[in-house]
Every structure is written in C-alpha cells, then in structure tokens.
Chain A
C-alpha cells in the first residue's frame, strides 16, 4: 500500500532524510518516532506529496507519487499537526469544497454520518473561528476522510487535544486501520505508539535506526531483559540525545 525505497530529502547542503526504505501494508499502523530534527515531518511531507523528495521512490496505493501525483493523491489523506482550515468556509462548506476537489459524488450521504461520528454535526454551519481547537481538528479529519482514503498520514495527531479528544482520535485511527487503511503517524508520545501502532520506525538524524513490529524493535534493544518500556527502548535506540 505504501512502498518507500531509498527516500532522501535535502535542503541545500543539509540532509534531513537519507536512504529510507520501508513498506506499510493495508491494516498496518506505522509509528514514526525520533528525537527533534530526526526527519519525521520531512518524511511525512514527502510521503504525502507536499514536498518533493530529493531521491528515491514513493508508491502510494500502487501509484508512483512522482510519476503520477494526481492518481496517488486520490488515495491518500494528510492530517497536519495544526488543522489548516479556510477562515471563510463553514464546516458544511468545507466538506462541499473538498467533495468537489476529490469528485466525491453524493457527498452529503457520506458527510452526515461522518459529522455525527466525529460529533460536530451540530456545528455544521459554524466557521472555523467559532470552533475550539479540538473541533477544528475534527473538521480537518472529516475533510480528510470524506473521500475514503486508503492511505493516511498523521503528523502529531494528538497535539492540542484534551483527554477525551485523545481517546477519540486513537479510536478513529484504529477503526480506519481495521477497515484496511495503511496509516503512518509521527508522534513524540510513546504511549500512543504502544496503544495504536502495529509497527514502529525509529529515525535519528534522518537515518533509520530500527524498523519492525513493536515486539521486534523491543527485542532488538532489550538486551535480553523483559518488560522494558518503549520509552527505555527509544532512549537506548537513539542514544539518549538528539545528536
């Protein structure tokens, strides 16, 4: 579903991501972790087609992102850490706009249950400026889910959410995963990874340190110990510093 091979991202002389390869199958949730500046956001933005990769290939739902970006983007949804919304469009108008962009026929039949599920149906005629941070996040998710994407990218999905919002976000990610979506998310919150992710990829200074299921990565850094927490695994994997 997501196939990444030899991905690199350079900003001038600075290399943010180097020679990164991995795959995410339908139903898998891959957690991207790493210290600040490890290249998590750059990787996610390359995968979503927001920024061009400097080298390597990315295939989304079987489509080469560089060769046929339009086809690849039809299958994906990107959720930034800060919801990017249009100030002058109401909740309902946001969905109408997105439906036209993705060509979602009879979008209201999909939008209404989606708004109900995300508990923002009563805010349908409100503008983003009238919504709380959590509500904005829900609207961004509704917009992303409207075209039923098979691939999803979440950048720090829990930023700014209250405990109830965090619980619902986790449930939502797991539900899409069970429905067969391939999901990649980046987060500093390791307990989120333990609860939500089937796989984990640890990055440091743009390079892959570890990749596999949670059990595989734990085994790689546990040194034979049992019951080692993911936090401890992360510290051991990254050497306890950004550099």
Chain B
C-alpha cells in the first residue's frame, strides 16, 4: 500500500516540476526565474564556489581544528539545545490549531474511505513531509555555510539540518496527536497548559536552585571577558537539571555541529536513536482520531488557496464586524468620495480623524511637559525624538504604500463590478487612492509635527535653522507628503494594471524561484520608476533654491521651491491618473490571465 502512496507523492512532485519547467516558456516566468537564479547565485552559491567561507569550509574538512572553534562549539551546542527546548515547549504550551496530520482535500477524499490502515496513513504523511524537509535542509545549508563558528562541511551541515528538522517534525506530530488524545479524554486546553507551565516552573526553579546553590553565580573572573563568560554560561547550561534537560537536544544537534567526518558519524547514532524514539511515539498515537480535524483543516486550506487564486489574501485578516460609516455620504456629489468612504470602512476602526486629533493633542502635551528645559539630557532627548520621527516619516513614505493596500489592489477581484460603474477610469482610480493617501499623509504629518516641535538646533546651526525656517520646512514636507504618497501608490496600482499577469502570479499562490524573481523585478522596477518621477522635482527644487536664495532669502526660496515641487508632482500625478484611467477602462483581466 505504501508503494501506491509513494507513487502518488512522487508522481505529483514530478508533475509539479514539469509544469514549473513548462511555464518557463512564458516570459514573465522565464525572466523571473533568471532574476531569482541570479539572486541565489550572488547571495549564496558564489560564496560557496569562490568565497572565503567556501574555502574555509573545504579546509576545515582536512585541516587540524582551530582551538577557538573547539572552545566555541560547546557553547553553540548548549545554546542551540536551549533554543530547541524552547521550540518544543511552545508546541505543547501554545499548540498550533492545525491537526497533527494534515491532509489535502483530495487526499482526504481518496484515502480516508480507502482500505488503508491508520498506521499506513501516518507513514504516508511522515514520508510526504520529508520532501519539504529535504528542501528546507538544503536551503538552511546555504545559509549556515556562511557561519564561521561551525566545523564540518556542506554535506554534514545538510544532513545535520535534516536530522534536526525531521526530529522536530516527528515531535510536533507526536505532540499534536498526544494533545488530541488528551482532548479526547476530556483534558481541557487550559488544564493542559497549566500542568505544563507548572512543570516548566518546577524545572526552572530546580535549575536556579542548583545554579545558585552549586555555582553561586558568576564570579568577577567569569565576567572579565567574552571567553570566561562563555565558559561560565556553557558550564551552567551543561550541568545539573538543565544539562539533563538539554541532553537529548544536544544529541539531535550533534551531527550538525560535528567538527569533522568522524565526529559526524559518531554523532549520527545517538541522533537516530532520538528520532527512532519519536517515531515509535507517533506510531503509538495511531488510535487518536485525526480524520475530523484533518478534514476541517483541508477545507480551510482549500478556501485560503481559492481566495489567493482570486487575489484575495486572507492571511492575518481580522474578523470583520459591521461598523458605522466614517462620515455622512450624501446621495449625490463627487463619486471619488464614495470610494474613500467605502475603503475607510475596510481599515482598522482606530484610523479616524478622532484618533488623529488625540495624537496631535498628545504630541503637543508631550512637547510641553516632557521636552521642555535646557539641560543636556533634555536636549539630547529632543534630538533623538526629532531624528527618530523624521526617519519614521521617511519609512512611512517609502514602505507605507506597500502596506496600505486599501485601493485598487484590494478591489481587483471586484473589477467586473467596478467597470460597470458609470464613471471615467481616472475618477475611479483617484477614488481608490484616496484612503491610503489620507492614512499615510496623516501618519507623516504626525511624525513631521513631532520632529518640528522636538528639533532644537545647536548653536552652530541655530542661525540657519531659525524657528521660521523650521516652520517653513515642516510645512513644505507636510504639503509634499500627499503627492509623494499618491505617486508611490500610482506606481504600485499601475503595476497591477500594466502587468496584471505578473502581478497576479507574484501575488498568487505557489512559490518557486521564478515567483521570487518576479517580486525582485517588480521591486527594482518600482524603485526606478519612482526615482525617474522624483528627479524633475528634485532638480527644480535645487535649482530654484540655489538661484533665489541670495535674492529673496531662505524662507521665500524654500516656499518657491516647494511650490515648484508641488506643481511638478501634481502634474505627474494628474497625467499618470489620466493615463492609468484610460488603461483601466480598456483593462481585460480575463485576457491577461489566459494561458
């Protein structure tokens, strides 16, 4: 029977690979694959082939061990084991809501009614998980090959990762099945968590008692440098009850941390023993009913995949509740406001004018009560607050449009309905952009207000940055912010209209090096377009300030430059809106997505 199931797995895998290769005939996937491959080569493989790490790794296999590596590894092993202990404990205290054995809808439909024993089903799932574990092991090896504190070579690292990930997978499966077993017997999740927490507290208390009773805390010599402190920490982690608790985890990590081939082979035996114990444990849980939970999970997963295929991400989406309207929407008037009204309803409820007013009040109060004074500490704090909030404003402008997606990108699944509305494309697009522009502009204004109030130049700069100049600069940034947000959002929304097939495949389900490459191409493309769009405004601003500063003074020069920037950016936004609106009216998603 397991041969039939193995056939299913291998055939599915082969067909997946074949379909991925076949779709490379489409340029969007071919260019994506090339970009993804180049990324992997320059980030990982070049290091292995010609980089210092690669050479060092090869040398380590044959050269005598450096003494510092031999002294570092016990600490790495102890810390790694501690991390594994933490991961394992989390699986018990905060278990996943997914069942221990997860089947797809098709697997559940074919295998549950089939004459297959539960043990075979368990083995099938464990075998199936090996495909992703092998892939993850290879990926982790690419990363860990750059770690200079490791011995061994790429092969021992890959096999070491495989041992660690396989054991963890077995443990998670066993834990989920055991929890299912406890729930079947009427043990509530709260009781289970309390029992585990109590056990954990006892273990921690015993460990602390042992550490303080036996070692009496770190001596002055232990904290005199990195080496003695590392030695001290290693001693704490390896001794007493904690050492006993960490022992099996160190066995699992043994092959990965082996210094050479001989050490690796010696470490494999105990690690396999731990795996075998876990495997026996999972098989002993075969009586636990996993079918119902698997079916529910399979249905949820199928719904999520369907939503992703339609371009609707359900990941991290909160439960939707009916809310009062953000403002009164009259029956007649500009239709753009209807989109602002609609999209504001889809945002977090706290993103409203009341919150904005409260935050402005808080900033004013904080400035009045906490940032007043002439002491060195207060001045330093003002400088930190000022620069932090300015950097925050920059981040909002740069990354905010990627996160605030209450625009056409979220509404694309409703494109059919939107296109039946009797409004020109540019108006629809403008309406769709309003919500993220309003939200991001509000955030930038708050940051600029904070920075402007907190900024207090030192004596050298005080003559240049007079209060009037600071106010004009702050107002200029505030004035330009909405157009900068709009421009960024237009680039992102434009990408979905100009390259819908690329956008759909990059945002959709499935992965692969080609999809990763598509995202890279998109990101670089967006940066280039933004740079090209900002260049005329930047050049005009610099030229105007340079030419007019000595004639009309700094305040008027900044105001003049800001006006020029506003005109240029507004023109760009207007022209782009008009062009993309035309594009939207002719937009045919069904044609773009045909194979």
CB contacts under 8 Å to B, within A36-79, are 42, 45, 48-52, 69-74, 76-78
Contact with B along A84-97 (1 / 0, CB 8 A): 10111110010011
Residues of B near A104 (CB, < 8 A) are 331
Residues of A near B330 (CB, < 8 A) are 100
A96 and B420 contact, Cβ closer than 8 Å, known pairs A69-B585, A103-B331, A106-B331: no
Residues of A near B332 (CB, < 8 A) are 100, 103, 105
Beta-carbon contact of B591 and A51 below 8 Å? yes
Residues of A near B345 (CB, < 8 A) are 86, 88-89, 93
Residues of B near A84 (CB, < 8 A) are 413-414, 416-417
Q: Which residue on chain A has the smallest CB distance to residue B346?
A: A88
Beta-carbon contact of A45 and B594 below 8 Å? no
B134 at the interface (CB under 8 A from A): no
Query: How distant is B323 from chain A, measured CB to nearest CB, in Å?
Result: 8
CB contacts under 8 Å to A, within B305-360, are 320-323, 325, 329-333, 335, 337-338, 341-342, 345-346
Complex Cα gap A125–B322 (Å): 7
Kindly count the residue-residue contacts between A and B in the assembled complex, taking CB atoms under 8 Å apart: 100
Q: Name the interface size band of chain A.
A: 35 or more
A12 at the interface (CB under 8 A from B): yes
B299 at the interface (CB under 8 A from A): no
Beta-carbon contact of B416 and A50 below 8 Å? yes
A48 and B420 contact, Cβ closer than 8 Å, known pairs A11-B594, A93-B325: yes
Contact with A along B411-455 (1 / 0, CB 8 A): 001111101111110000000000000000000000000000000
B588 at the interface (CB under 8 A from A): yes
B15 at the interface (CB under 8 A from A): no
Q: Which residue on chain B has the smallest CB distance to residue A71?
A: B422
Complex Cα gap A125–B329 (Å): 16
Complex Cα gap A132–B556 (Å): 62
A164 at the interface (CB under 8 A from B): no
CB contacts under 8 Å to B, within A142-177, are none
Complex Cα gap A234–B546 (Å): 78
Query: How distant is B192 from chain A, measured CB to nearest CB, in Å?
Result: 32
Beta-carbon contact of A78 and B329 below 8 Å? no
Pick the residue among A11, A78, A97, A129 that contacts B341 (CB under 8 A): A97
Contact with A along B225-243 (1 / 0, CB 8 A): 0000000000000000000
Complex Cα gap A117–B224 (Å): 83
B590 at the interface (CB under 8 A from A): yes
B46 at the interface (CB under 8 A from A): no
A127 at the interface (CB under 8 A from B): yes
Beta-carbon contact of B320 and A127 below 8 Å? yes
Query: How distant is A51 from chain B, measured CB to nearest CB, in Å?
Result: 4
Complex Cα gap A70–B588 (Å): 17
Complex Cα gap A72–B585 (Å): 14
Query: How distant is B149 from chain A, measured CB to nearest CB, in Å?
Result: 49
A188 at the interface (CB under 8 A from B): no
Beta-carbon contact of B422 and A100 below 8 Å? no
A107 at the interface (CB under 8 A from B): yes
Residues of A near B588 (CB, < 8 A) are 51-52
Complex Cα gap A69–B270 (Å): 74
A73 and B331 contact, Cβ closer than 8 Å, known pairs A86-B342, A89-B342: no
Residues of B near A96 (CB, < 8 A) are 325, 329
Pick the residue among A80, A97, A105 that contacts B416 (CB under 8 A): A80
Complex Cα gap A126–B320 (Å): 11
Q: Which residue on chain B has the smallest CB distance to residue A46?
A: B588
Beta-carbon contact of A70 and B322 below 8 Å? no
Beta-carbon contact of A97 and B322 below 8 Å? no
B586 at the interface (CB under 8 A from A): yes
Beta-carbon contact of A101 and B421 below 8 Å? yes
Complex Cα gap A126–B419 (Å): 25
Complex Cα gap A69–B503 (Å): 27
Beta-carbon contact of B413 and A70 below 8 Å? no
A1 at the interface (CB under 8 A from B): no
Beta-carbon contact of B590 and A45 below 8 Å? yes
Pick the residue among A12, A49, A74 that contacts B419 (CB under 8 A): A49
Residues of A near B322 (CB, < 8 A) are 90, 125-127
Query: How distant is A173 from chain B, measured CB to nearest CB, in Å?
Result: 18
CB contacts under 8 Å to B, within A194-240, are none
A99 and B414 contact, Cβ closer than 8 Å, known pairs A12-B591, A70-B424: no
Pick the residue among A14, A72, A97, A129 that contacts B342 (CB under 8 A): A97
Pick the residue among A12, A48, A52, A126 that contacts B586 (CB under 8 A): A52
A45 and B422 contact, Cβ closer than 8 Å, known pairs A51-B591, A93-B325, A100-B338: no
Beta-carbon contact of B413 and A102 below 8 Å? no
Beta-carbon contact of A97 and B329 below 8 Å? yes
Complex Cα gap A87–B325 (Å): 14
Query: How distant is B581 from chain A, measured CB to nearest CB, in Å?
Result: 12
Q: Which residue on chain B has the smallest CB distance to residue A144?
A: B420
Complex Cα gap A120–B363 (Å): 47
Complex Cα gap A216–B178 (Å): 70
Contact with A along B261-279 (1 / 0, CB 8 A): 0000000000000000000
Beta-carbon contact of A107 and B320 below 8 Å? no
Complex Cα gap A140–B331 (Å): 19
Contact with B along A102-135 (1 / 0, CB 8 A): 1111110000000000000000011101000000
16 inter-chain pairs at a CB distance below 8 angstroms, sorted by A residue, are A12-B594, A78-B417, A84-B413, A87-B346, A88-B345, A93-B342, A97-B329, A97-B341, A100-B330, A101-B335, A101-B338, A101-B421, A103-B331, A103-B335, A104-B331, A127-B321
Q: Which residues of A line the B interface, CB within 8 A?
A: 11-12, 14, 42, 45, 48-52, 69-74, 76-78, 80, 84, 86-90, 93, 96-97, 99-107, 125-127, 129
Report the 6 A-B pairs with minimum CB-CB distance, sorted nearest first. A73-B422, A100-B338, A88-B346, A74-B422, A51-B588, A84-B417
10 further contact pairs, Cβ within 8 A, besides A93-B342, A127-B321: A50-B419, A51-B590, A86-B346, A88-B342, A89-B345, A97-B342, A100-B330, A101-B338, A103-B332, A127-B322
